[in-house]
Amino acid sequence: MYPSTFEYYRPSSVSEAIQLLSQNPDAKLLAGGHSLIPAMKLRLSSPTALIDITRIPGLSGIRDAGDRVVIGATTTYDEVMRSELIQRTLPILPEAIDVIGDLQVRNLGTIGGSLAHADPAADLPAVMLALGAEFKAIGPNGERTIPVDQFFVDLFTTALQPNEILTEIAIPKPAGRTGMAYEKFANPASGYAVVGAAAVVTLGNDGRVSAARVAVTGAGPYAARRTETEQALVGQAPTTEVIKQASQRASEGMTFNSDVFASDEYRAHLTRVFVGRAIAKAAQRAQG
């Protein structure tokens, strides 16, 4: 058997899961397992216990909460992209999920698992930053809300405490004339994002950009907003020239990853190009 031995727990409530986390400091939460199990098979990760949270009632599912859409943490990619509510209100999610992994991965991988794992090349972190999501986490001292802008703090590191569980992702429904797009340059072998760019653009009645959120993943150690680019868009009509100028600023103030496939210089270039494409597509969709 490939992985080393571990205890397997299957709690039936969040509080039971938190108790197990406190009792087993080397435990890992198991949801879809599609980042964790491959790492365990290679023994890159050898947790002493797995706490399977997929059968906890209420942790999975998608609901309409008025001005927000709330997605349970153990909802699979496949369930998210097939949700009529998501397709109608947050079409960037199906667009991004469609280019994650492959069908088998999307059938089991969960939205909360991906976000809590915070792989620097995962797609959804950039999408959540662009959407302005809020994360609900429950720990021994109760629950708290973490805004997405404070969630991704470093490589594979989030604002979650070791004994906290991410339970819900709440996403505001976009206002008025809003368009959104995800553009990805995928590694041809792994399918992971070398660079992925997400843009959510809202237009005012005058046709100018009234709000913009732009974020990238894959480029640096963790997914990040590109605020200089956002500021260069707001108040402007989204012309080709304006988008070009704004996307030129997308690589400012960022540290880029460098590997055998793409140097830091190349990733900076890809960031500018794919941010530009995502904004152009989002603006076009906002115009209807």
Partner 1 sequence: MQITVKVNGVAHTHDVEPRMLLVHFLRDVLNLTGTHIGCDTSQCGACTVLMNGKAVKSCTVFAVQADGAEITTIEGLARDGQLHPVQEGFWEMHGLQCGYCTPGMIMTAVDLLQRIPNPTEEQIRHYLEGNLCRCTGYHNIVRAVQYAAEKMRA
Where on the chain is the footprint of partner 1 (CB under 8 A)? 1-8, 10, 30, 33-34, 37-38, 41-42, 50, 52, 54, 78, 98, 101-105, 107-108, 191
Q: What is the nearest approach in angstroms of partner 1 to the Cβ of residue 6?
A: 6
Most distant CA pair in the chain: distance in Å? 63
Considering the complex, state which of residue 7 and residue 154 has its C-beta at the smaller distance from partner 1: 7
Considering the complex, state which of residue 105 and residue 273 has its C-beta at the smaller distance from partner 1: 105
Sheet hosting strand 165-172, strand order edge to edge: 62-65, 68-72, 165-172, 134-139, 142-147
Q: What is the nearest approach in angstroms of partner 1 to the Cβ of residue 2?
A: 7
* Burial environment of residue 218 by CB neighbours within 10 A (0 to 12, 13 to 18, 19 or more): buried
Residue in this structure with the two tokens 């709440």, named with its chain if needed: 170
Q: Contact 62/75 with Cβ under 8 angstroms? A: yes
Q: Which residues pair with 178 in a beta bridge?
A: 202
Q: Contact 198/96 with Cβ under 8 angstroms? A: yes
Q: What is the nearest approach in angstroms of partner 1 to the Cβ of residue 54?
A: 7
Considering the complex, state which of residue 31 and residue 279 has its C-beta at the smaller distance from partner 1: 31
Give the rounded distance of the alpha carbon of 99 from its chain centre: 13
Q: What is the nearest approach in angstroms of partner 1 to the Cβ of residue 189?
A: 9
Q: What is the nearest approach in angstroms of partner 1 to the Cβ of residue 144?
A: 29
Considering the complex, state which of residue 4 and residue 231 has its C-beta at the smaller distance from partner 1: 4
Token code pair at residue 149: 């802008």
Considering the complex, state which of residue 68 and residue 82 has its C-beta at the smaller distance from partner 1: 82
DSSP SS3 for 260: coil
